[in-house]
Structures are given as structure tokens and as C-alpha cells.
Structure 1
Amino acid sequence: MNRYCLLLVWLSVLQVVSYGQCVVSLDSQKRVITICQAYKEPTGLLINRTDRQQGLSQTVYLGSEYLTYPVWQPGSLKVVGSEKFIPCGIAYNLLINQIMCQFPGDSVSHVVSPEAFTVNDMHFVSRLNKNGDRTYYRVLYAGKTRLLAQYKCSLRQISNEPYTLEQSFDGTYLRQKSFYIQSDNEFLRPVKLSRKSLLDVLDAPLTRLPNSLPKNKLTVNELVSALTYYDGFR
């Protein structure tokens, strides 16, 4: 009963999502694109002109500011003070670090700030930053040592010239991914996908890493395997 009371209180302070005129879809080449439409007033000094009308402006971006496509995916979330995950549809906006949730049977979407959440097979945890906001990290490996990934997104605008065969988008959403290692629930330490960076972060002798570990660049799976091997010595 307490869990449901906690959920009701938590829902009462949620923001209702107001959708803009943007649609995320696939184009004819199976690329994820975002099409936004907005009404723009024409320039002019006479506010009460009878011929003053709004014009429809459209912009097309390559990619999306959301983690997944389709934007909405099955997931769950855990609020502060609860140990159980609550099922809901999840849409994670990487551009503004915003999580939207739609509960079963509810036609309204809400902006939420959960302590942790899942979307498909991905599990995310959070840490409070100095402003009291939550930063979310995907858990890639959860042993004695944890490997976390932070996803971000930025929009690179392109010149607003008329479309050409070479220039067919108004901008591109760019994804950024950063990796962190955490030991014993301490602070996060950034790590790059290289053996040298891993050794520097772990401050461990080479003998605590597998002999098969590449000398230069690593894949995420190789980094996870190395941490699994390393945890065997702890």
C-alpha cells in the first residue's frame, strides 16, 4: 500500500509532456529522420494588416534526439524510496536529458526523473550532479567493478540554403558516448577504449588483465571481458 501511495504522490508532481510539431520516422533509404513544422509570421510593420497570415515552415534533420527508434519502447522505472520497477513506455531524449513515461492505460505522457529505469534490455542508473539534476548512465557491466556509458546528443545545424542533391537536410543529430569505471560505489572515472587508458584507471599491474587483450584500441565487449577478468583478482 505504501508503494502505491508513494507512486500517487510522485505522479502528482509530474509534468505533462507537450509535444512539438516534430515527427521521427524512416525515409526511403531507411534512415532515421526528424521532420519539424512550425508556423512563422511574415515580416511587416503593420500588426493589424488584413492580409497578415502565418506561413508553415518545415525543417528536416538526419537522425533523432531520442535514444531509440521507434521513439517509444517498453520499459520500466524505479522512483526514489522504492525497490520495485514500475512498467511504462519510455522515450529518452538525449539532447535535453529528459525521460518521458507513459503508463499502461494512460493516454498522457509525463516527464519523469526516476532513480533508475530500463528500456528494452538496457538498464540505466543515475547520479545527482551539483545542480541536483540526475545524470543517467547505462550499465554495461555490473561486477565488483562497474562499466557505465553516458549517452549525449547534439544538433549540428547546416546552412539554410534551398535543398540540393548534395544537401538534403537542415541539420544532423550527432551522438556522443562516454565510458566510466566505478569501483566499490566510489566516484566515476572516465576511461577510453584502449588498454593504456584501462590500466591507468585501474592502477593495476598488467598481470591482472587477460593476455589476449589487444594492445591498442578495445571494443566494448573486450573492455567488459577485461573487467570481468580483473574482478577475479578482487
Structure 2
Amino acid sequence: MIRLVLLLCTLSVLKTYGQIVVYKDDKGQILTKSDSYASGRQTATTATYTQVTFLESPFYTFPVWQEGKVQLDKSGKELDCELAYNLVTSEVLCKFAGDSAVKVITPELFTINNTKFVRLQNSIAGLDYRTYFSIVHNGPTKLWTSLTSQLEPRNSAEEVKTRYYKDLNIQGIYRVKTKYYIQKGDREPKLINLSKKLLLEAFADQAQALESKIPNRQLTTNDVIDIINVYDSLVVANQKSLAHLSKEELFKRSLESQITYPGWVGKQGIYGRVYAGFDVDAQGGIQNVVILSPENIGFGFTAEVKKALENLTNVSPDFKGRYAVPIAFIYTNKKEKSGPHIPINRLPEDRVGDRQMLDEIAVPYVVTMPVIASREVWGYYK
């Protein structure tokens, strides 16, 4: 039996669980036995002690402790230790050689049972947090999984209906949940499920080309990997033509020459980034110019960009397609030691859609004046 002391989440607010034992019975079933203390009615301080049993385990492995490696920070080296990974609490428990004490650690990465878990930044509901992911497919576009375990009460567990498990007084079952994430390049991982609809949303920039290649059924991880490979090949093919327009000097020089940093805005230390969308038609004409980022009416940035694109001469018809271009208005005050103020706001991927993103164009504004409070404008979407 594998013994480990920790506090588990509870089935009800009246119960707390103490020492637990994770073991395998003679039928090969993994079970978790826990001390339970329920508040008594006799006095405010009395409590009733019982033992409760759950199917499966809150831990990633059985036995709970496994030989593994941890890397505590990005610049450190991997260290050997015994590991236990709690999927309920997302805690990594570690015992280093010669040290019997159990440490709760938050490493940058750890390896257990030849599976490597990496700690990545992720945002959900506007909150930044860090969680562990294991990679399923590595490439320009990655497929990650994260594992969690939830304790379900007895009534929802089909496994406890047999007489054998009823006799054990099974209270519930630990269910492992697998979440899948797509990560494009170094962008934030995006949660998906294995469905055609969400994959097309994740790959909106190539949705039209991928539509016929994704089966109309519940997908497997191998299906998703195949789709990722097709997506990456389409992106590479598009980037070949994209690079020509991005680095086409006449287009860049013409656009840069048309855009002026609004002087009165610069003198107030205001800077920002504008994303514009446009189409190149079959004759090479610039059509359908739209501002994709918040317009920030009154500062002049979006008006400058829109006017510049609308006044451009035709480009080669070979560049026919839909594009997005970022324009960074960069403010520098030579009296400041901090250097130029470069905008940090970026356009969310879903607002780019199926447009090809061009290289950013910088529009600088340099002054020498008493230091003032500078600020970036971005605003809100309509």
C-alpha cells in the first residue's frame, strides 16, 4: 500500500478527509481509503470518525510515488527525485534523495513515467494563471493536453453498483478529465474540444481550405494531429506569397510615406498600435479598407492609417487576397532614459479571421521636451 498524508477536497461541507491510502485490491482495482471526520451533534467539538473508500486515485500514477525529474526554473537543470502528481489539486509533490520530507513544489517542468509536463501561461475569464500541460504533437502548431481529476459522488458512478463495491461502502470515484489545447507558435494555448466546429474556429484563417478535410464525427487525437499538419502546410504556402507583399519595398515605402504621426498627439506623449484590414483585388487594387482594432476616434491614428491605405496605388495582381497590417505609432522623448514607448496591445486572433498578417510598420515620433506622463491608447471594441 502507498500511504500519503494530505487534505483532499470533500464530498460535502460537513466532512474533511485526513490520511489517505491508495492501494490495489485483488481484482486489480485501484482504491483510495480516507479517514473522515463528520461534525457531531452532541457538542460543538465532537466529531464522528469513519473510513470512506473511493474508486481510483487522485494521483496521476500508481504507485503514487514514481522516479522522475524536475526542473525548478527555466535556467536550472533537471534534478532526480521521487514524484507524486495530484490531479485534483494540481500539486507536484517531491522527495529528494536523502530527504524524507515531502515538498510541494511548482517546477517549470517535470517528467514522470516518461511523460513531460510543462508549466505554461494561460488565461481563462481574464485571469492569468499557470497550469501543467503535456505535449501530444510538437511543431509550428502544437497540441497540448492538461489533466484534472474530479471526485464524483457514488450515485453517478456506474462502477459502484456491483455488490462487491457496495460492500466496500464506496462513496464515489475519481474521474480524470482531459482538456485539449491548440497553440500557434508562441501564442497562448487555446482550449478546444475534439469537434469539427471548434477546430474550424481555432483555424479560422484556413477554415475554408480545411472544411472538407475534417470528418463530420467525434474526432480522435490522431485526426487532430493530421489536421494540424495540413494547417501548418497551408500556412507555410501562404507565407511564401505573404512574404513577397510584406517585403515588397514599393508597397512598404508607399504606405510609410502616406502615414504621419499626429504631432499634437505626440506632444502629449500618446502612442498606440492600429490594425487595418484590406483586400487586394484581381487588378491589384486596394479595396475594403477597415480598422480591425479599436478606432479611438479623436487621436488621429486610425484616420491616418485608413487614409494611407485608401490612397495607395495598385500593387501586383499576383498579391490578390485578404490582408491585415499592424501600424505601430512609437513615441520617444530624448529627455527620458527609458527609451522609446512601443505599444504593447495586440489584436486578438479571432479578429484577424482569414486575413494574412503582414509585417508591422513603425511610425516614430521623437521629441526633446520636459518629461510628461505618456500613455498608450487602445480603447474598446464596438
Task: Settle same-fold status: TM greater than 0.5.
Answer: yes
Out of 131, 141, 149, the position equivalent to 1:135 is 131
- Aligned partner letter, 2:23: S
Structure 2: state its 5+ residue gaps: 7-17, 156-160, 237-382
2 CA distance for matches of 1:120 and 1:25?
A: 18
Q: TM-score, normalised by structure 2?
A: 0.48
The answer to whether the 8 Å contact 1:37/1:59 transfers is yes
Q: Against the structure 1 CA distance between its residues 125 and 55, is the aligned structure 2 distance closer, same or farther, given a 3 Å change threshold?
A: same
Structure 1 residue aligned with 2:28: 30
Task: Point out 4+ residue stretches in structure 1 off by more than 2 angstroms.
Answer: 17-20, 37-47, 127-134, 163-168, 194-197, 205-211, 228-234
Q: Against the structure 1 CA distance between its residues 32 and 81, is the aligned structure 2 distance closer, same or farther, given a 3 Å change threshold?
A: same
1:172 offset after TM fit, Å? 1.3
Out of 143, 148, 152, the position equivalent to 2:144 is 148
2 CA distance for matches of 1:123 and 1:46?
A: 47
Secondary structure of the residue aligned to 1:232 is helix
1:164 offset after TM fit, Å? 8.5
Which piece of structure 1 moves more, 123-132 or 95-104?
123-132
Which piece of structure 1 moves more, 197-206 or 126-135?
126-135
2 CA distance for matches of 1:91 and 1:210?
A: 44
Q: TM-score, normalised by structure 1?
A: 0.75
1:88 offset after TM fit, Å? 1.6
Secondary structure of the residue aligned to 2:170 is coil
Out of 39, 56, 75, the position equivalent to 1:82 is 75
Please list, as runs of the form range in 1=range in 2, the aligned pairs for 1:132-211 lying within 5 A after superposition.
Answer: 134-158=130-154, 165=163, 167=166, 168-203=169-204, 204-205=206-207, 207=209, 211=213
2 CA distance for matches of 1:100 and 1:209?
A: 44
The percent of aligned pairs where both chains have the same amino acid is 29
2 CA distance for matches of 1:128 and 1:193?
A: 22
The answer to whether the 8 Å contact 1:113/1:134 transfers is no
- Aligned partner letter, 1:148: W
Q: Is 1:60 the counterpart of 2:58 in the alignment?
A: no
Secondary structure of the residue aligned to 1:226 is helix
Which piece of structure 1 moves more, 220-229 or 62-71?
220-229
- Aligned partner letter, 1:94: L
1:115 offset after TM fit, Å? 1.2
Structure 1: state its 5+ residue gaps: 1-16
Q: How many aligned residue pairs are there?
A: 209
Give CA-to-partner distance per residue, 1:51-75, whole Å, 9 cap, x none.
x9x8651100011111122112222
Give CA-to-partner distance per residue, 1:146-165, whole Å, 9 cap, x none.
11112111112337xxx982
Q: Against the structure 1 CA distance between its residues 182 and 40, is the aligned structure 2 distance closer, same or farther, given a 3 Å change threshold?
A: closer
1:176 offset after TM fit, Å? 1.4
Secondary structure of the residue aligned to 1:196 is helix
Secondary structure of the residue aligned to 1:21 is strand
Structure with the largest fraction of helix = 2
